[in-house]
Amino acid sequence: MQRVLTAAQMREAEQDAEKRHGMPSALLMENAGRGLAEVARSVAGPDGRFTVLCGPGNNGGDGLVAARFLHEGGARVAVALVGDAAKLTVESARNLTALKSFGVVPRSLETLPELGHGDVVVDALFGTGLSRAPAGAFAEAIGAIARWRRTGAKVVAADVPSGLQSDSGEPFSPCVEADVTVAFGFLKPGQVLEPGASLCGRVRRVDIGMGGEASKELSGPRLMVVEEADARGTLPARRADSHKGTYGHVLAVAGSRGKTGAAALVAKSALRSGAGLVTVAARGDALDLIQSHSAEIMGTPLDGTGPLGMRDLDALLAAAEGKDALVMGPGIPRGPETGALIGELLSRVELPAVLDADALNAVADDLSVLRRAKGPVVLTPHPGEMARLTGKSTKEVQAKRLELVKQLAAGVGVTVVLKGDRTLTAHPDGRVFINTTGNAGMATGGSGDVLSGLCGAFLAQGFPMPDAVWTAVYAHGLAGDLAAAKRGQLGLIAGDLVEQGLCDVWVRWGR
Ligand SMILES: NC(=O)C1=CN([C@@H]2O[C@H](COP(=O)(O)OP(=O)(O)OC[C@H]3O[C@@H](n4cnc5c(N)ncnc54)[C@H](O)[C@@H]3O)[C@@H](O)[C@H]2O)[C@H](O)CC1
Ligand SMILES: [K+]
């Protein structure tokens, strides 16, 4: 897991580094600048030139240190200070003096050389201290960086591409587009959340002496990026003496006439993700079709016709007997009582439950029904469903993903998976897990059903919360990546995730 720190947390961690490790910010800056110089050198051509653009704050200070190391290593370096030199921070001013003493005198932006292939421009204008849209000379500098990039130079951003808000990943205009971003100490949200992640290019994290554990008791959100080893580590190797009962029984309340595929995808995804048994509960007129998709799917008919309501409670309570996890929502016939039914069922059975699709829409009007749930509840909304759950517009959801997913999880006491590019998994205790797998080819009907079945299977196997959820999200995206590698993003359909992608993940993980 990689810790992701906000700007405020970075400042706290920097003070902590001084107090706990005796690492003054001058030394952190020296280490940051050295790391920046090494990355810049690694992307330059054999006789590439370097231009370092430095802003007034400590980000600029990192640039001044990098310029000194590049110069010391024999490279051709040009430096420009942008903004009011009188406003330099103490650390930056000290490094400006040092740089000059090494014989590198800053020049004006206009007199800098035009750069091309093999050359590198280091963007050290702003980092986590950016507070408004770059203007004036700063905007001109960002324009020059874009021009040099168009003529072939590589752009290396110090800590954050200048113009990008490091806490949200939202860019001001203008904003630098980097080929590589050197993250000092810890990752920032803006480097892993879109559109910031794309503006950063490749993110290279360098240690600067802040210490890994520095981030333990920081205030504010605990954000983590899930790495493949974390996800793989959640899944135990299977024991030889196990039997199908060992791996749990999923009850999927899903499917209806015209939407039998959703239930089949949930069930087949759960089976392909290690669940020992899967039973689908659906109206009789849909159940036969659902079961016809796969011999392994068992069925419990819900008598009657029409939307799910309180009259189905007893049948569902009976169906939940002996099960280990619930998945509810994909393709269900929703009606005015469906939300109350879900709330009542969850208050009576002590099972982990995944609510997706129309189960989310059913409870959106009154989320309090979820507070009575006896077992842990996982909601898996896409942005549109999240909008209904939060009363916001989809546009607002997408602009404030991190904030809204944390709020909903803590407010209702459930785990919330906000799907999309960089899916976020928020746990009621404030932790948010950022996913980096998956691709646009997965924006296809049924992809969400596969995730809810996968999630249900992991919960049925007894994997702990929230690990089971962020692992399912990671595996789901990786399945999509592996399947798209074989079928293209255009060709990818949800069934490929189940038949191809998931199996490729388990083989890759030796499970
Ligand atoms: N925190 C750490 O552990 C380390 C941080 N380092 C580097 O320091 C920057 C953060 O530096 P800071 O001085 O806080 O701010 P910036 O350099 O990012 O911004 C400069 C300064 O400019 C002002 N400002 C903000 N927005 C604008 C604007 N649009 N136009 C003009 N001026 C603006 C504001 O006053 C800012 O303070 C961090 O990213 C790291 O690169 C250390 O070197 C390593 C450890
Ligand atoms: K920068």
> What number does the ligand 1 atom closest to the CA of 17 have?
3
Pocket of ligand 1 contains residue 278 by CB under 6 Å: no
Cα 114 to middle of ligand 2, angstroms: 20
Same domain, 349 and 411: yes
pLDDT of residue 418: 98
Could you give the CA distance from residue 316 to residue 491 in angstroms, rounded to a whole number? 37
Instruction: Tell me the C-alpha to C-alpha distance, in Å, between residue 326 and each of 317, 350, 438, 490.
Output: 11, 10, 25, 32
- Global pTM value: 0.92
Neighbour-count burial of 503, counting CB atoms closer than 10 A to its CB (0-12 exposed, 13-18 middle, 19+ buried) = middle
DSSP class per residue in 360-425 = HHHHTT-GGGGGG-SS-EEE---HHHHHHHHT--HHHHHHTHHHHHHHHHHHHTSEEEE-STT-EE
Same domain, 310 and 438: yes
Residue 460 lies in a domain: yes
The protein residue whose alpha carbon is closest to atom 42 in ligand 1 is 29
Tokens of 192: 């892993």
Same domain, 268 and 130: no
Please report, in range form, the residues annotated as the binding site for K(+).
Answer: 59, 123, 162
Pocket of ligand 1 contains residue 11 by CB under 6 Å: yes
Q: What is the pLDDT along the chain (511 residues), one digit of tens a residue?
A: 999 999 999 999 998 888 888 889 999 999 999 999 999 999 999 999 999 999 999 999 999 999 999 999 999 999 999 998 888 999 999 999 999 999 999 999 999 999 999 999 999 999 999 999 999 999 999 999 999 999 999 999 999 999 999 999 999 999 999 999 999 999 999 999 999 999 999 999 999 998 776 566 788 889 999 999 999 999 988 888 888 788 999 999 999 999 999 999 999 999 999 999 999 999 999 999 999 999 999 999 999 999 999 999 999 999 999 999 999 999 999 999 999 999 999 999 999 999 999 999 999 999 999 999 999 999 999 999 999 999 999 999 998 999 999 999 999 999 999 999 999 999 999 999 999 999 999 999 999 999 999 999 999 999 999 999 999 999 999 999 999 999 999 999 999 999 999 999 999 999 9
Same domain, 195 and 333: no
Residue 236 lies in a domain: no
Conformation bin of residue 488: beta by default, left when phi > 0, alpha when psi is -120 to 50:
left
Domain region containing 464: 242-508
Looking at the structure of the chain, the number of domains it has is 2
Question: Which of 126, 142, 166 to mutate to test ligand 1, by most ligand atoms within 8 A of the CB atom?
Answer: 126
Cα 192 to middle of ligand 1, angstroms: 19
Same domain, 182 and 259: no
Same domain, 290 and 401: yes
pLDDT of residue 215: 60
Residue 228 lies in a domain: no
Integer-rounded Cα radius of gyration of the chain: 26
Cα 333 to middle of ligand 2, angstroms: 52
Q: 158: domain CATH number?
A: 3.40.50.10260
Tokens of 380: 């898996």
Same domain, 367 and 481: yes
pLDDT of residue 20: 83
pLDDT of residue 184: 97
Same domain, 382 and 260: yes
CB atoms within 10 A of CB 333: 20
For the beta sheet containing 353-355, the strands, ordered from the edge strand earlier in sequence to the opposite edge, are 2-4, 222-225, 431-434, 424-426, 415-418, 377-379, 353-355, 325-328, 249-253, 277-283, 298-302
Could you give the CA distance from residue 413 to residue 397 in angstroms, rounded to a whole number? 19
Question: Which of 128, 167, 187 to mutate to test ligand 1, by most ligand atoms within 8 A of the CB atom?
Answer: 128
Could you give the CA distance from residue 267 to residue 273 in angstroms, rounded to a whole number? 10
Same domain, 128 and 172: yes
Pocket of ligand 1 contains residue 130 by CB under 6 Å: yes
Q: Which of 170, 204, 219 is the last residue of a domain?
A: 219
pLDDT of residue 385: 97
Residue 402 lies in a domain: yes
Question: Which of 15, 58, 122 to mutate to test ligand 1, by most ligand atoms within 8 A of the CB atom?
Answer: 58
Q: Which of 219, 251, 283 is the last residue of a domain?
A: 219
Same domain, 246 and 190: no
Ligand nearest to the Cα of 24, by number: 1
Same domain, 127 and 264: no
pLDDT of residue 216: 65
Please report, in range form, the residues annotated as the binding site.
Answer: 58-62, 123, 127-133, 159, 162, 262, 331, 382, 419-423, 448-449
ipTM of the complex: 0.96
pLDDT of residue 459: 97
Same domain, 141 and 250: no
Pocket of ligand 1 contains residue 55 by CB under 6 Å: yes
Q: 395: domain CATH number?
A: 3.40.1190.20
Pocket of ligand 1 contains residue 432 by CB under 6 Å: no
Q: Are 184 and 159 in contact (CB under 8 A)?
A: yes
Instruction: Tell me the C-alpha to C-alpha distance, in Å, between residue 163 and each of 30, 123, 198.
Output: 23, 10, 13
Residue 36 lies in a domain: yes
SS3 463: coil
CB atoms within 10 A of CB 235: 21
Pocket of ligand 1 contains residue 10 by CB under 6 Å: yes
Residue 7 lies in a domain: no
Residue 233 lies in a domain: no
Residue 418 lies in a domain: yes
Place of tokens 């990689």: 2
Could you give the CA distance from residue 82 to residue 134 in angstroms, rounded to a whole number? 11
Could you give the CA distance from residue 86 to residue 79 in angstroms, rounded to a whole number? 17
Type of residue numbered 458: F
Ligand nearest to the Cα of 160, by number: 2
Q: Which of 187, 219, 251 is the last residue of a domain?
A: 219
